[in-house]
Structures are given as C-alpha cells and as structure tokens.
Amino acid sequence: MKVFKISPAELDTMIEQWNKVHVVYAPAMEKQAAASPDCAPGWCRVDGSAALTLLPLLTGPTLASVKPFFFPQPETLLTYTLENTRPDKGMMREPERSKDMQVVLGVRPCDARSVLLNNLPYQEDQFFQANRQRTALVGFICDQTLSTCFCSRMGGSPLDNEGLDLALSRAEDGFIVEVCSEKGEALVTGLELAPAPEGDISALAARRNAGGNPSATELDSLKGSELGTLYDAAMWQSLGEACINCGACTFICPTCYCFDIQDEVVRGQGRRIRYWDSCMFPLYSLHTSGHNPRGQKVQRTRNRFLHKLKYFPDRFGPFSCVGCGRCVKDCPVNIDIREVMDDLMHLTAVE
C-alpha cells in the first residue's frame, strides 16, 4: 500500500483537482444539512477550499450516512412513455444513468464498512454495483469516538481503512494518506505527493495495534443461538410498546437497505423507481387480502433488530450493523440497539 503525507494546503489542491473531473461531495454541517438542492440531505457539493471545513469532522459519524450515493432516493429502474400517439407506448427502456465519477469526502470507517456489508445482498444488483463503481470514498480515520459509537463491538474499528479508497488520518501538520484501492490509486495519480515518513507510518500502526483485534466480538455467540430463543423473548413486548414505528432509525441507518418499487407517471412519461422502505411500517408486509403477517408493532420492531442481529448474519456471516450510533442518537423514544444486544446476549447465556 502506498502511503503519502500531505499538508492541509495540499489537500485543498487535491480536492480542487478532483473537482475539475469528478463530482465531489462532503458532509454538510448541521446548519446546511437540508439546504443543498443538488445532493442528498446531509451532504453538500464541494467547491473551493474544503480541508479546514472538514477538520471538525474527525470525530463521530457524519450527519447522514453514505447510503444515498449507492442507493439514491429514488433510483430509476426503467422508463417508458404512455402517450397514445407514440408507437413505443408502454415499452420499457433502460434508464439513462450518470457515469460521472463521484468522490465522497469525510467518510467514516463505520460507513465505509456499511458499503461492504450492503454489498452482500446487492452482489447481483446492477444498479448498486454501477454506483459502487463510480463512487470513490475518501475517508477520515476517527480521532475520537463519541459516546454513541460502538463500531469496535460490531467488528469494525475507528481506525479502520477497510472499504475506503483513500484513508486520511491526522498527523502533525497535515494528513497521512493511505491508498487502499485502485480507485484510490487513480485519485492520486498525477499528483506529486511526498511519501509519508517512516515515523508517521509506524505511529499509525501503533495506534491500530493498541486498538486490539476487532474482528472477533463477544456478540458472535448470538450467531450460533437458536432462532426460537431470540424470537420468543419476552423483551420484544416492552420494546414494541415503546417504539412508535416512526422508521427514523431505518432511514438514517447505513445498513438498512430494503426498498419499495413503484411506477410513477408524470404527464405521460413514466418510470419505475425504487426508494427506501422500512420494515417498521405496517404497509411493508400487508397482503392485498388485508392479512398482515406483521400487523402488530411488536412484530415489526422485532423484525428490525433480528434482521440485523440474526437473519442477516445467518445468511451472510457478519451482523448488519456497523455501530455508527445514529439510531441511538435519533430515536425519539430512546431505544438503544446496544441494550437490545445486551438483553439478547443475556438470553443466550441463560440458554
């Protein structure tokens, strides 16, 4: 792996260079979160100097996760016309899709990992894969963690560069830049960057070593436990009563990936779109007959947690949660997935 060292001014120059050929995004600060018309909430387009504005972001997760770059709201799956005069009326066409490379700055290690996890169910999904190909993640290794962060517990680490294309970490008077992929390599090609001094590289390695081995977690005992033990637990009752099924936790979650598909027709021009859905909503599972297999709130709350902590790992191996803590921060009734995990662990220990 190539490792460079750059000054804040050089980072500005890099971003300027990328901006000439790619579309560059950065996390929005609290105040501007909803105020950028040309990109997803929580993100903004970068123009001009960015390095210094990005600095406060070395702590804790960004406002919004990177989910919208891979899973845009909405994604057009196909288009058609319904105009009567058109001979191709009703014929489905491939949608026009942007091939522009997008560079996302300030990505957290937890969010980078979420893309790798979502890639498991989306392995064969043409749209997700195309978005992956055209998105480069330029991440910041976390200087500090927040009280809501628990990436290490989920098998990640605040110092991880897994899933990032370029990983920046703070060093004295500048940043260390780790080139982690071919996409990352392409981003630094043509820029004359100085190799990182040996001392900085070993200091970063020492920080990582001190963090211990994150891949094995005490939670793994959940994976081997019987579904029935977890499913029938009494705890769901009280959790389901507290949860108001607002769905906030699922929308802000980087690893919630379910979607709905609908047809949308505006003035005779139609498209089939997919957009984020939430298993917290009763409509999600409602049959046309009126029968609803998860008609009760408690069933839906249980489904969200068990999907992350049991169903997904049963199918793919890892848990479907990166420990970013967004759902912990934003739940209006203070439901905390860490407590849910503790309770489940307790159950399996008793078992």
Partner 1 sequence: MISYMPYPVRIDDIVVETEDGNQKSFKLVFENEAHTKAWKHVAGQFAMLSLAGQGEIPIGIASSPTEEDHLLFTVNRAGKVTTALHQMTIGDRMGVRGPLGKGFPVDTEMKGKNIVIIAGGFAVTTLRATLISLLARRSDYGKITFIYGARTPGMLLYRDELQQWAQRGDIDLHVTIDREAPGWDGLVGFVPTIAGQVAPSPENSVALICGPPIMIKFTMPPLEAIGWTDDQVYLSLENRMKCGEGVCCHCNVGPTLVCKDGPVFTRRQVKKLPIEY
Ligand X SMILES: Cc1cc2nc3c(=O)[nH]c(=O)nc-3n(C[C@H](O)[C@H](O)[C@H](O)COP(=O)(O)OP(=O)(O)OC[C@H]3O[C@@H](n4cnc5c(N)ncnc54)[C@H](O)[C@@H]3O)c2cc1C
Place of tokens 């839906």: 300
Binding site for ligand SF4 (CB under 6 A): 243-249, 252-255, 280, 308, 321-327, 331-333, 335, 337
How many angstroms from the chain centroid is the CA of residue 269?
Answer: 32
The letter for the amino acid at 32 is Q
> Minimum Å distance from CB 226 to ligand X?
28
Nearest CA to 106 out of 26, 184, 15 is that of 26
Give the HSE-up count for residue 75: Cα atoms under 13 Å, Cβ half-sphere: 23
| CA dihedral over 283, 287, 292, 293, signed as positive or negative | negative
Contact positions with partner 1 (CB under 8 A) in 252-281: 257-263, 265, 270, 272, 274, 277, 279
Query: Which of 74, 121, 240, 282 contacts partner 1 by CB under 8 A?
Result: 121
> Minimum Å distance from CB 288 to ligand X?
3
Contact positions with ligand X (CB under 6 A) in 260-319: 287-288
> Minimum Å distance from CB 285 to ligand X?
9
Residue 34 within binding range of partner 1, rule CB under 8 A: no
Among ligand X, ligand SF4, partner 1, none, what does residue 316 contact (CB within 5–8 Å per kind)?
A: none
Distance CA 39, CA 86 (A): 33
Residue 334 within binding range of ligand X, rule CB under 6 A: no
| 184 versus 318: smaller Cβ distance to ligand SF4 | 318
Q: Is 53 exposed, middle or buried (0-12, 13-18, 19+ CB in 10 A)?
A: middle
Query: Which of 33, 55, 58, 78 contacts partner 1 by CB under 8 A?
Result: 78
Spatial contact of 153 and 181, defined as CB atoms under 8 Å apart = no
- Provide CB contacts within 8 A for 244, sequence distance 6+: 332, 333
> Minimum Å distance from CB 120 to partner 1?
11
Among ligand SF4, partner 1, ligand X, none, what does residue 323 contact (CB within 5–8 Å per kind)?
A: ligand SF4
Residue 294 within binding range of partner 1, rule CB under 8 A: yes
Query: Which of 84, 144, 289, 334 contacts partner 1 by CB under 8 A?
Result: 289
Structure tokens at 156: 């990640």
Nearest CA to 67 out of 212, 217, 284, 258 is that of 258
Q: Residue numbers of the site for ligand X (CB under 6 A)? A: 287-288
